[in-house]
Structures are given as C-alpha cells and as structure tokens.
C-alpha cells in the first residue's frame, strides 16, 4: 500500500509541475509587455526596461520558469502588479475565508445529501423519494450564481434574517455555504440513494436481518458503511467543483477569498496574482485527491490487502 501511495504522490507532483508549466506558458504568450501594462501610459522606456530586467522578464522562458518553480517552493509567488504586495501574502489572507466557505459548503452538501439519499432509498418510489430526487435534479441544473442571488434576495434582502454580504460573523457564511453546496448536495443525494439501493440487495443484508437486527441497525452498521466508499470518492472530486463555484459565490457575497482574488487579478491584468491563485487552487485539489485515495485505502480492506 505504501508503494502505491508513493506512486500516486509522484504522479501528483508531475501533474502539479505540468499545470504550473501550462499556466506559465499561457500567460507568457499574452500580447503586450506586462510591465508596460502595470506602469500605465506615462512610464518612459528606460524605466520599463529597468523594471523588466529587475523582474527577470528579459531572461529566456525556461530560465524564468525554473526560477518561478524554485521561488514557489519557498513560498514566494512574486509580487502582485495591481496591489503591490507579495502574492503569497495576499493568498494567505484570502485562503482562510475560502477554506471556511468550502468546508461549510461541503458540510452542508454532505449532511443534506446523505440524509436525503438515505430517506429516498428507504422510501423508494415514495413521495419523499420523488420530492428529494426532483430537488436534487434542480440543484444540479441551477447555476451557482442563480442559487446565490435567490438566497441573497429572499433571506437577506426581504426577510433580513442573514447579512447580504461579507463574513464579519459566522452568520455571513450561512447563505454562501448553502449556495455553494447546493449543487453538490444534489449529486451526493443521488449517489447515496443508488449505492444504498445496490447494497441493500446484498446477501449480507439478508443475513443481518435473519440474525434479528432491526432496520436502523442494518442501515447504519451494514448498509451505510459499505455505501460510503463511492460517496467518498465523489466527495474528493467535488472539491474541484466547489473551488470553481467559490469564484462565483465569493463574487456575489463579496467575500475576500482566493476565487475573488483570481477575478481581481484578471481585471487588473495581474499575471503573478492570476498565476499564483490558479496554481494554489490546483495544489489544494491535488492534495485533496491524494488524501481521499489514502482514506479510501484505509476504509476498504480489499484495497488495503491488494496493494
């Protein structure tokens, strides 16, 4: 098992380097001198040239890339053109907000998704089943910005129950977390329902029932434990779409997170900031997948023995 995890780790490092290289090259082929853009219309040619050399932008591209990777490994992602601060400092300040938002959204998605999935499976073809599955399809089809704006309009603007924007207190996280987790909750509910229905047909469930165990015991001890494996994988995959959705959610609710930073980077034509945020987000996704793989191996004895 250690060996296969080591292999996964090396793969993850290669993917990260690949992503870094891809982003690096793409942002270098943008027409126009980034230094000239940064300094505005009134900069004279001498200053632009001096700044270009200072930032190392006159070096060949492979030298620039090697330097970028080595600096990034030490936690230095360069200096933001538009905000004049180190990118790492800006991201560190924003990461806490994004992390809190993503964790809250994931919690909402998993708790609501798993609960609805269980009820739908147990009451298969019943009223609640149809209701929950209808809702989950709606959840999958609604754009994140629509859910976010609906929640904002109804619960913040009309009912005044929760703040319209910002995260000054924990209450500020409730609406953004629901908006961001809504979509995932739908997918989780559908998956929990279908795997649970599969598992409930297995022989060992009949055995447990024959031994006289009641329905709640069967569900929790036998069925749910085995149904959780595919759900786990899916949760890890959801991390990526959660971070994608965070870009929108943070914009709607004015939360200073990584996603909003990326949007600001684009409007400020700020290459180091865009590069840093994209790379950092990828790092989080890759680490999340790695963690899920190791957890998967721990939870499933078959995989543990195989490897």
Partner 1 sequence: MRLNRQRQIVEAHDIRLESQIGEAERFGDLMRRMARENRLAMVSALVILLFILGAVFAPLLSPYSASEMDMLHRLSPPGAGHLLGTDEGGRDILSRMLYGSRVSLLVGVVPTLLSMALGAALGMLAGFAGGWIDALVMRLADIMLALPSMLLAMVIMYTLGDGLINVFLTLSLVNWASVARIVRSQTLSLKKSEYVEAARVIGVKRPVILLRHILPNCLPTLIVLFTLNVPAAILTESSLSFLGLGVQPPNASWGLMVNVGRQYLYNAPWLSFVPSAAIMLIVLAFNFLGDGLRDVLDPHLKNN
Residues that bind partner 1 in the complex, under the rule CB under 8 A: 11, 14-16, 18-19, 22-23, 26-27, 29-31, 137-138, 140-146, 149-150, 152-153, 157, 240-241, 243-245, 247-248, 251-252, 259, 262-263, 266-267, 274, 277-278, 281-282, 285-286
Give the nearer residue to partner 1 in terms of CB position, either 118 or 286: 286
Nearer to partner 1 (CB atom), residue 158 or residue 211: 158
Residue among 28 and 213 whose Cβ is closer to partner 1: 28
Taking the complex as a whole, the smallest distance from the CB of residue 257 to partner 1 amounts, in Å, to: 13
Least gap, CB of 214 to partner 1 (angstroms): 31
- DSSP string of the chain? -HHHHHHHHHHHHHHHHHHHHHHHHHHHSSSS-HHHHHH-TT--HHHHHHHHHHTTTTS-HHHHHHHHHHHHHTT---B-TTT-SBHHHHHHHHHHHHHHHHHHHHHHHHHHHHHHHHHHHHTTTSHHHHHHHHHHHHHHHS-HHHHHHHHIIIIIIIS--S-SS--SSGGGGHHHHHHHHHHHHHHHHHHHHHHHHHHTTSHHHHHHHHTT--HHHIIIIIIIHHHHHHHHHHHHHHHHHHHHHHHHHHHHTT--SHHHHHHHHHHTT-HHHHHHHHHHHHHHHHHHHHHHHHHHHHH-HHHHHH-
Q: Which is nearer to partner 1, 212 or 267 (CB)?
A: 267
CB 38, min distance to partner 1, A: 15
Shortest separation between residue 138's beta carbon and partner 1, angstroms: 7
Least Å distance, CB 15 to partner 1, is: 5
Which is closer to partner 1, CB of 157 or CB of 161? 157
């Amino acid at each position: 098992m250690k060996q296969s995890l080591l292999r996964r780790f090396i793969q993850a490092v290669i993917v990260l380097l690949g992503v870094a290289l891809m982003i690096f090259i793409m942002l270098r082929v943008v027409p126009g001198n980034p230094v000239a853009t940064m300094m505005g219309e009134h900069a004279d040619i001498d200053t632009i040239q001096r700044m270009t050399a200072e930032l190392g932008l006159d070096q060949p591209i492979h030298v620039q890339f090697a330097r970028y990777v080595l600096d990034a490994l030490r936690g230095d992602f360069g200096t933001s053109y538009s905000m004049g601060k180190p990118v790492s400092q800006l991201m560190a300040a924003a990461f806490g907000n994004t992390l809190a938002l993503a964790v809250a959204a994931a919690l909402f998605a998993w708790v609501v998704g798993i609960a609805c999935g269980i009820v739908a499976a147990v009451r298969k073809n019943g009223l609640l089943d149809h209701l929950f599955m209808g809702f989950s399809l709606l959840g999958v089809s609604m754009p994140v910005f629509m859910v976010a704006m609906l929640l904002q309009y109804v619960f913040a603007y009309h009912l005044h129950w929760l703040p319209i924007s910002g995260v000054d207190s924990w209450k500020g996280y409730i609406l953004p977390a629901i908006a961001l987790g809504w979509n995932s909750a739908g997918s989780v509910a559908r998956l929990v329902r279908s795997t649970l229905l599969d598992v409930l047909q297995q022989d060992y469930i009949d055995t447990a029932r024959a031994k006289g165990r009641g329905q709640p015991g069967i569900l929790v001890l036998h069925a749910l434990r085995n149904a959780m494996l595919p759900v786990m994988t899916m949760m890890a995959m959801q991390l990526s779409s959660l971070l994608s959705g965070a870009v929108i959610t943070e914009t709607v609710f004015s939360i200073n997170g990584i996603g909003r930073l990326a949007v600001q980077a684009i409007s400020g034509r700020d290459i180091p900031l865009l590069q840093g945020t994209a790379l950092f987000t990828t790092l989080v996704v890759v680490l999340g997948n790695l963690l899920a793989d190791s957890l998967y191996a721990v939870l499933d004895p078959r995989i543990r023995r195989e490897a």
